[in-house]
Structure 1
């Protein structure tokens, strides 16, 4: 039933009395709020809805109402707010108050959801209200949009990690993502953080629009200040966006007093914001940039004011000579105009186009008869004494001639084309089937030849140039191509050295991201990218070509020439051995690529083989180059290089018998016995496929080198005890090795 205006006035008076009660005693807020919600709900009259929205905004922004009581009232009020926002509400006061209430309630609802994971209804309702506000934000008027900006600021502040002041009292900490457990049932940390990042970008987009509203910009800047102060993770991004904002670039003439006041207000707000940041944090890393930005703001304001008050400037001087009205005043003498002769009738050549003199002797003189050095000596002094005004007249005359010739040629081409089209149409109309094909063939080419001859006569001799094509370069020989490939490889190695020098000189402390084995070789431009590019050029690029080369070389009886891949491999080998301790990772990457390439080519060869064919020959590079690299740096290892040797043996894709034999050969040096035993023990423990080979090598070292028995015996006692001699045999061996030591007595043996 509709209410009369008198009843509405009485209800408003009663509601004002209730407001005075809660302002006097904050304990009455829960009772009053629960009592007025049915009266000021979505179905009430506009006056009641307006009063209710304003009262709710005051309630949740009141400092005298405890936060715990606000948190209890928030779920109850949220349902009424959602119902009102779903209506086609057009009253700005109601919308602004409701959005302010949502901005105050959002941290309370968020904290309530953190503490009550089972209450999914309240969080879903808050999410629906948030999405409704974000969806309608751009269509709201300016006064309501300012409240939406405040709501966005509170959402970003809540959904961004904050500082934990006291971990022992989580209820006293600020509401942020830091108080949300990782395994929360309703709140997903990555989703909330991504949403806050998007909303922050939406806030900062106001500073990047082509035309801006000073009220919206000032509201945004004022809302960004708390985010800079409380959220260090996004503070630098916000400050950088503010420093990219210049109010004078976002306004367009005419510069009315209203526009000037708006620009001045935006400049003062931005300047005050940055002054506050510099005052609170004097050691801020962006201190210098903020000071420079403030100076630019002041300078741009001064330039705008100066341009607005500046008088109209004088007109520019004429560019084509002196103005006739200023000759007497400037006391200047204009050059005499050139007498341009008309072009002769008929086709025009280049010499006629550029000839401006009527002297027959000069126009008929052939400059080619003079030596080039004399022409240069004559032309330079003449050009230095040429009158600029006369030169401008001559250039303009030639330009006019060229444009006239071009227009005439285009006009005649159009006429000829129209005549040919009309003649073809007449021929089609007069066509009779009794005509012979020879008559048509004779008339068609003759008419076309006449048209082509007429066009050729009308065109100038040298004006139309044909297409210019560069001649093809001579083919490279095999030796030249190999030399070019080697120089390209050397340049790539130079890029690796340059990247190493740049990375060592930089002071960054961020660790590079490891992209893995399946990375793209050109995805980055760091040292690892160039290394992967080189290794894959050496292994994958020529895959499948070596067999054809060997067949051709074998059939001709000539030794196969070295390919670009062999050159890259040899250069890589020398590059790694120059500093193998620092470049061991490059060698491991290269050997992994070689092993992978060998397996792919073997698989492809097995698939192409038929039963009648012989087994194809596939050149395997991994075994060759791993032994060469190992032989290259093993002589330089000492007892302290156990990490280098173990890393190499653990990260290469395959450990063969030849590799184990070379590692075992280190035991010939008594100082490197420990190095050998530790390397073999690591392979025994962590590379099961190579365990038997390593145990055989360990047993051989134990039997061959007496100094290795204490260390190698411990390994064999655990993994292969049968390889050790019996205790009696070992004692006799010890006795034979120490003849001067007396034998133990029977009592001692019994005690043992």
Structure 2
């Protein structure tokens, strides 16, 4: 009763996977314990046939087959190690091994240190090869198919697309020359020996007609897919004479077998002629009678303005998608790039290289070419801008700005590199203007202030990002100091503003006077900052404190500044 219930459950499981092959990864692991070597003979037969059917199914993707093949290796080895196993079980197991051998071969190519699974497959292969000469005819036919798959896998094939090895046919050509588990020279030599063993069936005078027919059916695939061994196979087939296998006196059975072998040989050779030599071999090396003229391809149609905008935005999004993906993968790796003046910019394939490329595309590539980046002086000192609705440079700048703000604490170096390029480009354009060119729009000040405005609302009192940003930008403009002083409106961020300005006083001497002026302004107009700024003024501008202590009136701030005092 229990066995009947198990058989019914197995039948239902098979119906489930036949209706939906995506269920194989869930069903197969639960079936393997039931169909082991200790199970009933009917369960073993059903399980072996189910495994053969699973890995021969064209509906199951190769990736899932490859993962499942690792699960069934132990079960295949157990079945083959049984000395008196049922013939039907062995036949199905050998067919399963023929199906999974190329899959496991590809897995080992990508996992060169998985010696355990490769040794299991090697044991299965050795067991099958030992049965090839002494097993019953049905098992030997399955062994011939297994040998054909091994030869096809361990012989170099054609590489259709070197850029996408996962889509290429599984062959020895995919194996690296220094692979530790499957060195190509050893495998190719083994494949050559197995091919000789396969062809010997056609050369022996006492071969079974069933084995000869099975061998001929397997050789067609090798001739079609493996050009390096096709000549050897065709020569052997041409020398094969089915009449040599005839015994005298000839029985009706032997006549039918000889006729069958003759038809199989004829069909194989006709198929070779049709598919392999599709062109006249004598005409391949012949020079053409008429010289060909120069052929020019027609130019592609011009893109519309809307198409240009869409393709440009799509390209920008893909580049920044790559940069975002490299943010995590590129961290923690050892830097092998040369530093200093001899370093080549964008010489690697990491995030920094992409940052260099994209920032220079935004600043240098279209400098002076975009109409919208040109201004002209009119009467009365007004500046009028000309241009279209879209600029690839400004689109890249907008994307860079959003990219930095998404994670500004980790990407502040990108902002500094970008602004350095903007500052350098503004200087180059200013030189062109001095020589009589049209005055361009300055970009550094606009984007430096915009980046600073974007990160200031998210800074806390202990944040060091502001100090790093102000120390790495190429030019400190007054607007930056005004925004830093504005942090003093928040009592919790007064120390952040004062510490940032103090760092600039110490580390950037060219802007020291501007920073001391900012400290003095904080001391005069922000009561909450007096404690911290007094220490700085004592060192850098003590006469301000002396004037105040002597009763001198402090000078009023400029009329264009907003005075904020806290009581």
Give the TM-score, by structure 2 length.
Answer: 0.49
Q: Considering Cα pairs closer than 8 Å and 6+ residues apart, tell me whether 1 or 2 has the greater RCO.
A: 2
Q: For the pair shown, which has the larger CA radius of gyration, 1 or 2?
A: 1
